[in-house]
Structure 1
């Protein structure tokens, strides 16, 4: 493999890993506060693509207006899902909440089929992002370079929110202990709802960039990216934001390099994520940056 081809594959891997990282952060934030996996997160990602599509195709919005509206609506959808599927079960057994999360996932899938139809649709392309640029001997879409930059900017914005604001302080307090946080005057329900909203905003950004990179959408498209981003969160250490980012990059770069160096294994690209998950769970069950968490009795 020539150096220019290697760099092209590496850049594509970093771009894909950035998308995985954005969506994985949503999983890890919810787990960090509620100690449960939001299985509907992949479907929220999917719905964001339809919101953006219809904003441009049906309501004739400029692409930038449609994308902003998409982020807002997706945020509201995430908070609505939390209110409907999680809030009423706050004190229920974990298995009950997990079943509710899976039910929310299936509900959103089938709602998308009813509202949008089952046929695949072509996501609108934006010329400024799809233009091909050359860096030396490497030819890349401009979007391939924009995605990692956007991911880093969103990551640092999130870290600023978590570490430097009162809302972030409340989120960190709730992640440690709900009851103690409540006694200290933290509105636990509001903080959890905000966390779902922030995770959904990141899913919306990831969905928009995913749609421009892979411009075909259908109601069940959130399943595999959702599973892979969950795996990325587990690999990095579920509950750890940096871990989710690291896991996303490992998964994205690994997938692209597997296909590039061993093209005969192209059909097993999706299996790579699950094999990697098994290896990580065997070697370091808490993930690369995860910590052991004792269950409350």
Structure 2
């Protein structure tokens, strides 16, 4: 298998320890859990999404395992501004703050709280199960551009996480690029649901949620491929990555790095395991394979 060179990488304005990043919403609720994932081999970590007001999230059940993935509807639970206290001791680490809002102004307000401590922001314009937030506004190119402009104005690297639940993800990616994004993260979960036959009702408390895990990897890969042709920004692939082979495939589609989320559910040491197969002293420079499937 193809292997990569070891060492720090600089992507979208942020220096990472390696190409493997903890995705938002997975063990990102506390500074302690983020620090733990860095010690376990993550090259960078993304926090739980933080919004303008504290949210308790949706009523349960909020997470169920599927064959080949997970289905969740957490509802963006977060402590809002109080989260700042969780990450002050990680100031020197590659911790990206995931933020959300219902308007460009709300995105800007949340970003202002972390402007002195964040190495970068990730705009959650893609959560499929939070009314008035995420994908509810992230499918509109004009809103995506406006939200990106609001946060990018702080001069801090601004990554924009996109939803796959659109007709043309390239249009949304170009809107983020026009708004001043430093990188694009593709993608968030795919909207879906399950129904309990015995109870005759949806399994999730919110009825529908987002599917993640290996079953959506081909969808995420296609989105990365499309965005590579549509935009000139670095792309961080996200969705079902669980092996070194998946990382290489994402890179060949156009990703410069990847995020890993659901795979942590099965194996807390997933970053170390992937890195052991992905990196070698005689490995290739990542630039040699990023986007090569487009040739």
Q: Same fold (TM over 0.5)?
A: no
TM-score range, shorter chain: under 0.3
Provide the TM-score with structure 1 as the length reference.
Answer: 0.27
Q: If each structure's helix is expressed as a fraction of its own residues, which one has the higher value? A: 1
TM-score, normalising length from structure 2?
0.27
Structure showing greater radius of gyration is: 1
